[in-house]
Amino acid sequence: MHHLNRRQLLGSSAVALVLMSPLAHAAIIKGGLPWKPGSADPPTQVKPGGWHYFTQQEAATVEAFVDRLIPPDPQTPGGKDIGCAVFIDRQLAGPNGRNENFYMAGPFQQGTKQQGPQSPLTTAQQYRKALAALNEACGGRYGGKVFADLSDDQKDEVIAGLENGSFKLDGFDGQSFFSLILTDTRNGFLADPIYGGNKDMAAWKMIGFPGTHYDYRDWIDRHNERVTLPTVSIASHPNWSQ
């Protein structure tokens, strides 16, 4: 039996997501469990370098923003170095950025908070619009400077103002944008590194989450003990070569 190692499995081209099926039109299944080799669908490792969705200025804005949301400290990198902007960029460039899984039919109208987001814009479009409005608003408040060129204190002022609604953006709701980028930044921080953030599993190491171990039977009874297993992720384990 041919054993694929993990690298080979992950290196093979990933099939497109969700609504596609390896079997066209309808699978008629009878007489046994169906199985077709090569039909697994592992995630594809995001490779840093370049931007797939953001323009240079958008990328610079987002890198600056995520680095204030999660600032660097001596133990753990901040949002920028840990890859949060890369994570967001790759998500926006893909089907999630296009909201392919959302119900996107109209008519569109704002409802109550309990009815949830009702925007006709995709998430990718929202970022584009909001980032432009953000830089414009900063220019107005801070003598022509874009967000990325502000001092850290000024950036924090802006972010706090977006959060509490006092810093207004033209044509976009600042509080909605703050919520969106905060969620995406946290996702980039703490998701599996295969998606471009959480570089070297630094965020998992920070909190003490050992990652993608599957078997804790030797640990379930060891109450109140620190787990000494190495931190691992979908694509990395200390025993595997790069």
Partner 1 sequence: MAHRLPRKDAVIVGLGWTGSILAHELTEAGLDVVALERGPWRDTATDFPISYAQDELRYRLQHQLFLQPAQMSVTFRNNASQTALPVRNWGAFMLGNGVGGGGLHWNAETFRFLPTDFTARSHLTQRYGEKFLPEDMTIQDWGITFEDLEPHYDDFEYLCGTSGTAGNVNGKIQDGGNPFEGARSRPYPTPPQKQGYGHTLFAEAAKQLGYKPYPQPSGNLSQPYTNPLGVTLGQCTFCGFCEWFGCANYSKATPQTTILPVLLRNPNFEARTECEVMRVNLDNTGKRATGVTYVNSSGEEFEQPADLVLLCAFQLFNVQLLLLSGIGTPYDPRTGQGQIGRNFTHQTMSTAVGFFDKAKYNFNPFIASGAIGMCIDEFNGDNFDHGPLGFVGGGYIGQVRTNGRPLESISVPPGTPAWGAKWKQALRDNYLSSVICGGACHASFYSYRDVCLDLDPTYKDRFGRPLMRMTIDLHENELKMSAFLTDKYAEILQQMGAKQVVKQPRKGPYDVTDYQTSHLCGGAIMGENPGNSALNRYLQSWDVPNLFVQGSTAFPQNAGYNPTGTVAALAFWSAKAIRSQYLKNPGPLVHA
Residues 174-203 within binding reach of partner 1 (CB under 8 A): 182, 185-187, 190-192, 194-195, 203
Rounded to an integer, what distance in angstroms lies between the CA atom of residue 56 and that of residue 39? Answer: 37
Among 112, 228, 239, 242, binds partner 1 (CB under 8 A): 112
In order of 60, 88, 141, the CA distances from 43 in angstroms are 27, 16, 43
Footprint on residues 38-67 left by partner 1 (CB under 8 A): 39-43
Rounded to an integer, what distance in angstroms lies between the CA atom of residue 67 and that of residue 185? Answer: 9
Environment class of residue 164 by beta-carbon count within 10 Å: exposed (0-12), middle (13-18) or buried (19+)? Answer: exposed
Taking the complex as a whole, how short is the minimal distance between the CB of residue 136 and partner 1, in angstroms? 22
Rounded to an integer, what distance in angstroms lies between the CA atom of residue 32 and that of residue 100? Answer: 33
Helix axes 123-141, 152-164, angle to 10 degrees: 120
Footprint on residues 76-105 left by partner 1 (CB under 8 A): 76, 96, 99-105
Question: Given the complex with partner 1, which of 72 and 140 has the nearer CB atom?
Answer: 72
Give the 3-state secondary structure of residue 211: strand
Q: What is the pattern of x (binds partner 1, CB under 8 A) and - over residues 5-44?
A: -x--xx------xxx-x-xxxxxxxxxxxxxx--xxxxx-
Among 56, 114, 228, 239, binds partner 1 (CB under 8 A): 114
Closest residue by Cα to residue 52 from 89, 87, 82: 89
Among 60, 62, 64, 70, binds partner 1 (CB under 8 A): 70
Footprint on residues 119-148 left by partner 1 (CB under 8 A): none
Segment near partner 1 (CB under 8 A); pick from 50-58, 106-114, 132-140, 165-173: 106-114
Query: How many residues make contact with partner 1 (CB under 8 A)?
Result: 85
Q: Does 1 bind partner 1 (CB under 8 A)?
A: no
Rounded to an integer, what distance in angstroms lies between the CA atom of residue 122 and that of residue 103? Answer: 11
- Which 8-state DSSP code applies to residue 148? G
Question: Given the complex with partner 1, which of 116 and 143 has the nearer CB atom?
Answer: 116
Among 2, 47, 143, 214, binds partner 1 (CB under 8 A): 214
Q: Which two tokens stand for residue 38?
A: 């090569």
